[in-house]
A = this chain, B = another copy of it.
């Protein structure tokens, strides 16, 4: 049983599936890639338990069959092939990979070792893939890292009939992004931040079809399908803590501010929350940091608004910079007080909201 397929096409599709499959696993069957041949297609699929990915390639196949083999070594062979075209020849126990004057016989795993992954036949709704990817990428940084409570390590997606919103928070900062586009799907889910990274890579041009069922988010984008396992637990009621009264606001270029904060923060004490201080008065923003090596400061003109004449706050420099990076152009930073959250809204793209809690000082 032989299949012919262009090398680049196979290598590109394979890279999306192979990347998620663990290369070493206590149970070797978890490291396997499944290949399914049908009349016109070669389908590649793999899983890491949190996310299943399937890629379908148009291929010159002769018959039907299902095979599985070690994903990592198969991918290494395919990537290194010399020719433009690959011939895959399947027997019961071996896969012959031939390209140019090169040939490999790769041992197949017994066909019972991998059960087929199941993907929906139909989807409930859809979103523009580029918009969806943007909404995920804008909030991903605010998800917590390993040592936090599990639910903080996820990204929430709220599908309602009027909009789709992505949200992430680790308790010290929060980001959300509103897609003012309905998906046709209704539900609130939380998916692991690591799955968000893989999902974002699959989202290319066109529409992404979406379904929620069987405790999974299932998507289809072009030749790719994915099932993403949902996280369990209660995502915090974050809207409650977003302040609405701001005695001081400033507007300035987000990139200029991010660079100045990074520069000043070189002197910040990494063991004391990487603290930088902001002082705003009379349309001047002064940023300072101090640590065992010395102290830095930088000043800049800003457009200042609000009832209070001045405010002094301290932040973790990294949290401030992370919130600014997704923004192009001007940001309006609004301060609710020295101990309550500050809110940043992009002037150009008000769908994005970032919130950072100041450090307690004194």
- The interface of chain A, by Cβ under 8 A from chain B, is 70, 73, 76-77, 80-82, 94, 101-107, 259-260, 262-264, 266-267, 293-300
A291 CB to nearest chain B CB (Å): 9
What are 15 A-B pairs at a CB distance below 8 A?
A70-B293, A73-B266, A73-B267, A77-B263, A77-B267, A80-B259, A80-B266, A82-B263, A82-B298, A101-B300, A102-B263, A102-B264, A103-B298, A104-B295, A107-B293
Q: A294: which B residues are within 8 A, CB to CB? A: 73, 94, 104-107
Residues on the B chain within 8 Å of A70, using CB: 293
A263 & B105 in contact (Cβ 8 Å cutoff):
no
Whether A103 touches B300, Cβ cut-off 8 Å, given contacts A80-B263, A82-B260, A266-B80, is no
CB <8 Å contact, A267 and B82: no
Bound CA span A166–B106, Å: 42
Which of these, B101, B266, B293, B299, contacts A101 with CB under 8 Å? B299
Residue on B nearest A264 in the bound complex, by CB: B102
Please give, as numbers and ranges, the residues of chain B lying within 8 Å of A107 by CB-CB distance: 293-294
Chain B residues contacting A101 (CB-CB under 8 Å) are 298-300
Q: How far is the CA of A73 from the CA of B103 in the complex (A)?
A: 53
Compute how far the CA of A107 lies from the CA of B296 in the bound complex, rounded to whole angstroms.
11
B266 engages A296 (CB within 8 Å): no
Contacts of A259 in B (CB 8 A): 80, 82
**Min CB gap A253→B, angstroms:** 13
Nearest chain B CB to A104 CB, angstrom units: 4
| In the bound complex, CA of A263 to CA of B101 (Å) | 12
Contact partner, A260, options B94, B102, B266, B296, Cβ 8 Å? B102
Instruction: Name the distance in Å between A317's Cβ and chain B's nearest Cβ.
Output: 12
Q: How far is the CA of A106 from the CA of B70 in the complex (A)?
A: 55
Q: Smallest CB-CB separation from A94: which chain B residue?
A: B294
> A296 contacts B77, CB within 8 Å?
yes
A264–B105 CA distance with the chains assembled, in angstroms? 11
Taking a contact as CB atoms closer than 8 A, the residue among B81, B267, B299 that contacts A104 in the complex is B267
- Chain B residues positioned under 8 Å from A299 (CB to CB): 101
**Across the two chains, which residue of chain B brings its CB closest to A299?**
B101
Cβ-defined contact, B295 with A105, below 8 A: yes
- A288's nearest neighbour on chain B, judged by CB, is B103
Q: How distant is the Cα of A80 from the Cα of B105 in the complex, in angstroms?
A: 53
- Given A104-B267, A300-B101, is A293 in contact with B82 using a C-beta cutoff of 8 Å? no
**Cβ–Cβ < 8 Å partners of A262 in chain B:** 80
- A298 surroundings in chain B (CB, below 8 A): 82, 101-103
A300 partner residues in chain B, CB cutoff 8 A = 101
